[in-house]
Structure 1
């Protein structure tokens, strides 16, 4: 790794927090350090002029593999597929000129409640009203199909922004988070960055929501009293990795199980109680 701007550095770690303390660090390196701390192994995307500062520093982080896509649409759908099978947020990136192309993949992740974090670089924001090439209001474009769209206006925001993105993407109703990184911010310096990661949110579900005990008992009572119970499972079973629990519950109540299209795979279709995919 190339030398940091300041040589004083130390690692601190305990419990769920592990972080690197430095006096000053290039903003693009700060971003990469945060991704490394969140155990990110793959990012899908392709380069553009506004992303070059990030790509320059990426050479020092071979453990974070950049997967080149044919275009930004492909990168977004690659991140979608990665998230579905890895149970980690899917990450992709696009330059400002290609930011409009990620819309289909982001919309799919939003409607499918899939955790995704996507980065778009941008021109320096103060040049947006001067009709600089590739500049546009990305925040307005994405806010309707994301849980949150965050514009980083100061390099010191990067560690907190990454932590917030992973936390929001993986908790509650999962979904995509947009991080907008202007070119001049990527070239800047972070001062005394707090590079710790909240490890609970490196995968999903980050914090599993739990129903009230009374409601659980009420549901079990209804199942116990039902003459011919039937289960219909959606993709929530897959996202929660609860397929074994569904099998155990279905066998206990001798209940046939069907799945939605998006829930396909949440119950083995060669099981005697399987109804296969039902509905549209």
Structure 2
């Protein structure tokens, strides 16, 4: 209906009356939308009987979402991103009514928005569908294909950190066992007079002479105290068992996304994968998806 440039570089404006929005239990479904429309129509009928008019709004549809603005002040009342819109339809029994279901960004609840347009209900519905189609294409071209790969890399990075922490703990345990063994061996050694070899020389011993020399009263001096190990939190884990820096094949580079951007990409991917149901047709471009 519209050129890709019109939806990607600009927006398509429409005027309509806003009946309101209401929470729904499911992101899709004709019956879900029908109940929401009936509920909001009844609420508006009561307000109209009280003298309140249905507010007019301006819809701006682009690949970035559907904005609902005040037509005079241009103040944005609602901003619905396309990857959060899961269902869009116009009422075949009342050709002025059209609606869409969008997941709220703050509460994560599914809200159904209902509008009244005199002539453009079906056209607005199709325009939202076209914008969704173009937005998904742009998402794939701008790196959306790598989201799943990056999620796997993040999982591997987490596993590497866990293994490095486990490696440090095991090295600490080995060091503790070695210290305990040294203390046990030092306490079990009894002083002996050194014997000479065939050259009348005292054999070389790695034990310090001071440690094997008795005191004046003939008792063995206590072993030298062993310095306790520093707690794991104060040891520097930069080096591995061989004194080298731990190998990290996924060090952050220019092509990696920060965690906040990564989470947004994950959310967009899930939203686009769900697709947009438009009069019984699911808009998605994934050739592996059986719904396409």
- Quick check: TM above 0.5? no
Q: Structure 1-normalised TM-score?
A: 0.19
Q: Structure 2-normalised TM-score?
A: 0.18
